[in-house]
Structure 1
Amino acid sequence: MSSLLLLLPLMAQVGPASSLPSSARPYASQLPLEIIEKKDKEDRDRRAREAQNVAMPAARSSAGCMSAVEANPEKSAELARSALADAIGREQVRAGLCLGVALSDLDRWDEARTAFTNARDAADPADHASRARLGAMAGNAALAAGQAGQALSLLAPAATDAKIVGDADLTASIALDRARGLVAVKQPDEAANALAEARAAQPDNAQAWLLSATLSRRQDKLAQAQTQIEKAASLAPQDPEIGLEAGVIAMLSHNDAAARRSWESVVAAAPSSDAAVTAKQYLSQLGSPDPAK
Structure 2
Amino acid sequence: MFLTATMLPFLLQAGLDPARGGVPDYSADIQDRPPRELSIIDAPQPTSWLAQCLDQLEKEPTRAHVQAQIRRDTTNGQDRVLANHCLGLASVELGRWEEARAAFTASRQETPEKEARLRARFGAMAGNAALVTGDLDGALVLLDAARSDAVAASAGGMQGLIALDRARVLVGLDQLAAAEEALAEARRLQPEDAETRLLSATLLRRMGKLAEAQEQIEQAAKLDPTGPAIGLEAGVIAILDGREDAARSSWQSVVELSPDTEFAQSAQVYLDQLGPATE
TM-score (norm 2): 0.90
Q: RMSD in angstroms over aligned alpha carbons?
A: 2.4
Q: 1:239 to 1:59 in 2, by over 3 A?
A: same
1:36 and 2:24 aligned: no
Contact 2:84 2:106 in 1 (8 A): yes
Residue of structure 2 in register with 1:258 after alignment: 246
Residue pairs, 1:166-185, within 5 angstroms: 166-185=154-173
1:22 and 2:12 aligned: yes
**Pairwise CA distance, 1:209:** 0.9
Identity across aligned pairs (percent)? 41
Residue of structure 2 in register with 1:244 after alignment: 232
Residue of structure 1 in register with 2:47 after alignment: 58
Contact 1:243 1:265 in 2 (8 A): yes
Query: Runs of 4 or more off by more than 3 Å in structure 1?
Result: 13-17
Query: In terms of mean alpha carbon deviation, does 160-169 or 204-213 score higher?
Result: 160-169
Contact 2:87 2:103 in 1 (8 A): yes
1:130 and 2:130 aligned: no
**Pairwise CA distance, 1:266:** 0.9
Residue of structure 2 in register with 1:147 after alignment: 135
Three-state SS of the structure 1 residue aligned to 2:32 is: coil
Amino acid at match of 1:22: L
Residue of structure 2 in register with 1:49 after alignment: 40
Residue of structure 1 in register with 2:194 after alignment: 206
The CA deviation string for residues 238-268 of structure 1, in whole angstroms up to 9 with x for no partner, is 1111110000001001111110011011111
**Pairwise CA distance, 1:75:** 1.0
Q: 1: distance between equivalents of 2:121 and 2:183?
A: 19
Residue of structure 2 in register with 1:94 after alignment: 82
The CA deviation string for residues 61-118 of structure 1, in whole angstroms up to 9 with x for no partner, is x443222111111111100010011111111110000000001111111111000000
**Pairwise CA distance, 1:16:** 5.0
Amino acid at match of 1:283: L
Q: 2: distance between equivalents of 1:233 and 1:69?
A: 35
Q: 1: distance between equivalents of 2:78 and 2:260?
A: 46
Contact 2:117 2:149 in 1 (8 A): yes
Query: Any unmatched runs of 5+ in structure 2?
Result: none
Q: 1: distance between equivalents of 2:76 and 2:67?
A: 15
**Pairwise CA distance, 1:157:** 1.6
Which structure is richer in relative contact order (CA contacts within 8 A, separation 6 or more)?
A: 1
TM-score (norm 1): 0.86
Amino acid at match of 2:56: A
Residue of structure 2 in register with 1:3 after alignment: none
**Pairwise CA distance, 1:169:** 1.8
Contact 2:30 2:167 in 1 (8 A): yes
Amino acid at match of 1:188: L
**Pairwise CA distance, 1:22:** 2.0
1:228 and 2:219 aligned: no
Contact 1:31 1:184 in 2 (8 A): no
